[in-house]
Amino acid sequence: MHRIGYFLTEGFQIMALGTQSVFEFANVVAKEQVYQVTNYSLTGGVVTSSIGASVNTLKATCESQADTWMVPGIVDPLARDSTVEELNFVKTAVAGAQRVGGMCSGAFVLAEAGLLEGRRVTTHWAYAGALKQRFPNTHVEPDHIFINDGSIWTSAGLSAAMDLVLGMVEKDLGHKVANRVARVLVMYHRRSGGQSQHSQMLKIAPKSDRVQTALDHARANLADDLSAEVLAKVVHLSERQFRRVFLFETGLSPAKAVEQLRLETARNMIQRGRHSLEIIARETGFRDRRHLREVFIRKLGVSPQSFRREAREGDAGE
């Protein structure tokens, strides 16, 4: 039996407990008790969530053991740091576990405990910048709904934690069980960790009409040459001036912005499933199917084929 321990602190986000349903229904689908879920806290007894709902817990001690520890965050992780006692328990508990999941701002707890050094992680988009600034040796990737780096799992918002836990179930019990659990829970489909928290097109918000015109041209002509030289001519600027203005207004180089726009359009086309990957690569400006796959895996952590398969299985399960 795989033991799941939820380490709760005062003010924890109540939605974190919803992820326990994934383990519950994994037992139902598997027709055996694969998972045993237990709530812990430093003091034991009643712990109050951010919304005021109370949960009974067992006292967390050095003898408390779990194969997987789940660590929820609080509504505002910048409002307070974890206590020394909380961090000491997390360090001790994780050392004897197979894996740990930092849900939403729970990533801050893991980082404070020194568990995220050199790791790829994500957290809620509103706090990704703060996590990166406070822990510069942690590789924060805000454009993922969850990331699995070895024994460390982290998710974006708490709805994304459902996908994270489904990912754990898939790792433990296989793809078919995970998808059956998703269908039982009436989730659209199990989203891969590479799915974005936000549209890249919405995140690129220039201040001037010239840069906006360049982006509009790029969106409408993804299959064409969209080098900085070409885009600069579209808006009647020198290439050097265009690069400088574009970077200042968007925080991205023209090449990076174009790649993001191409990737998002390709992702949407793959999810709709109407065209082959060869056609999608050609229409979105990638050199070929192999180039599309390389960028997909590098940026999203999943292959186009896997992404399409999950989308189709989700549609079939509706």
Tokens of 91: 């360090």
The residues that are catalytic are: 104
On whether the CB atoms of residues 53 and 217 are closer than 8 A, the answer is no
Distance CA 281, CA 60 (A): 52
Q: Cβ contacts of residue 157 below 8 Å, gap of 6+?
A: 104, 124, 125, 145, 197
Which among 57, 54, 59, 55 is positioned nearest to 42, based on CA atoms?
59
What are the CA-CA distances from residue 72 to residues 75, 78, 84, 236, 237 (Å)? 10, 14, 17, 51, 49
| Tally of residues, the chain | 318
Residues 6+ apart with CB under 8 A from 185: 21, 22, 25, 162
User: Are 16 and 158 a contacting pair, CB within 8 Å?
Assistant: yes
Question: How far is 103 from 162, CA to CA, in rounded Å?
Answer: 9
